[in-house]
Chain A
């Protein structure tokens, strides 16, 4: 039996695990963690086998579709793009589940935690496997819900509940745009088919969508007086969804707050998997983007800006997890930039962005898990209270330093020696350079290279403040148990060598997703449709360009060492706050003016008091006339209002029935 036929099990097993854990977890030790772990491990093995098979036989793409209703379908599609994502998600999720057995051991409701993470994993895998945009959207919403549940896992904390609400509503903006994009796409395709869709054609399936890109590009819409092609409109709306989910500027605001959840959740959802769904969406629909040059340009700019913008915030945070959160936002920006430069490098962009996505998943999950290990041991997130943790927790410290090296991308250009981040991030920056050369816009490149410096500064600042020097407070602490350190070590190994070992294979493997597989696109002709030319890519960048990212990374290391290691600058002076704007706002309140007192008290009140007594007598007289009778009536009538809501309902029903009868009677009489 071929392993492809088992592909559907990849999301189904974790989903089953969710059900089992949800109902049985409480009765099992460690909240039933064994169920999701076993399920996800199986999924991992299946994914890995499919990926290896694909690697050997690139034409054996798994594609199975079943009619859902009318012209919509459900189905799975495992092409290289999906395969690597599946393998990464199952792998990281597996390690994090194992780690969680240690991390969540003191929690009150571990079974709820494991059920929710299993559900999350299932939905995320479903998202990746989807062969049509609607199914992808449904899973997209599901992961959003799981993220909401898990951010608010400790819902007794008001800050967690607020953060969950904020994350949900902010990403919702993106989701609405995504859904709008799907609706526009659907109606356009329906129009292209003239409303007559042949049997067996499912119009929201990716191959069907991609086959009609030229038709979509031919439809124009008039928006605010500008002629916009529908393909641009749709891709921009899709990108809007990606911006929300992947924390791109300006919808990045929810991600740092999402750190209110357990650290393992941050590692799984808000670093390695869910937040990359936006990147995955853009990669998945990349043929559409490449036919819409304006959208791709937006992707590149938003990505580059996010990378530098989040980096600047990363350097001032004092919370361990928040630094990592901003780092995630910044790295997601890199991935988006990696896709955006597809305008210059064509389908290679997908390979490189995905490569960074995978590498990032390893080292960022590792960073979070190390942070979790520290937090678990010492009980605080605040870096200002830490220091010298390396002595207490050597394994955590070493793995974290490896992760940081991977994040900053240390390696030797021109060779295959280097951490995994080096291969993917530098490739993105080089592509940004090519992008600048081809299109003449250098801003993305400048942003990305500056962000590289910031990356190095914030992460080494974190390392120095946390692990170096002497403890600033008395926090005690101990090395974490093996269930936590083993996943750390495995991830550290990946972060260290995965990039170097796979860089060539990976890029060609994924880049060819759209070339000779399931969808079979001619990328360069699509690019022509978009009206631009791809660069003649031959790696002719000047030496300086190749070395610049490394120089930046090392410069960052040196700067942080000087500031936090040798303390040659007094940071306390720099960060003091004396904000005069606050006061200014504060004094802007209205005042009760003299006007009020004078006009109303003196003139009106005195006047009324004079006329009043006469009028009062008049009123009393009128009221008296009625009162004997009406007051009695009022007193008895108000008894109808019994206060019991059922009686009110009864009154309504009685009223309805009486009116029907009354009208009937009156009509008869007349």
Chain B
């Protein structure tokens, strides 16, 4: 049995990778991927805790959140597609009309 701390550490690492990417990446697609990483790190946590507590709620929760993550990705890609059509780029640092 692998101790739960290892799962939590792995989740924390994945989450941090996602976080780092979110702050540094410019491409919209990569940002979306980073968000997925973060959501899945949280899912990993849920599942790990679920087996730790011998309680199915966490796994059910993870299933819900996987479905939500898929919806989120769909919306995200739709927005990026629309942006690409207007600006011919998905590099997010070119998109800053709205500020101050």
Q: Which residues of A contact B (CB under 8 A)?
A: 638-639, 641-646, 649-650, 653
Contact = CB atoms under 8 A, between A and B. Distances in A.
Given A641-B100, A646-B23, 4 more contacts: A642-B96, A645-B92, A646-B92, A653-B23
Contacts of A641: 99-100
Contacts of A646: 22-26, 92-93
* B contact patch SS: loop
Contacts of B100: 638-639, 641, 643
B97 interface: yes
B19 interface: yes
A644 B95 CA distance: 7
A644 B24 CA distance: 11
Interface of B: 19, 22-26, 92-93, 95-100
Contacts of A642: 96, 99
B22 A643 contact: no
Contacts of A645: 92, 95
A638 B98 CA distance: 12
Nearest to A654: B23
Contacts of B93: 644, 646
Nearest to B20: A653
A649 B97 contact: no
5 contacts: A644-B92, A646-B24, A646-B92, A649-B22, A649-B23
Contacts of A644: 92-93, 96
Nearest to B34: A649
Contacts of B95: 645
Contacts of A643: 96-100
A641 B97 CA distance: 11
A645 B23 CA distance: 9
A588 B92 CA distance: 48
A645 B99 CA distance: 10
A642 B97 CA distance: 10
A643 B97 CA distance: 7
Task: Output the residue of A638, A643, A650 with the most chain B CB within 10 A.
Answer: A643
A646 B25 CA distance: 8
Nearest to A639: B100
A639 B100 CA distance: 6
A643 B95 CA distance: 8
A617 to B, nearest CB: 30
B81 to A, nearest CB: 14
A650 B31 CA distance: 13
A521 to B, nearest CB: 37
A639 B19 CA distance: 24
Contacts of A650: 23
A-B residue pairs, 8 tightest by C-beta: A643-B99, A643-B96, A638-B100, A650-B23, A649-B22, A641-B99, A641-B100, A644-B96
A644 B28 CA distance: 12
A430 B35 CA distance: 63
Contacts of A639: 100
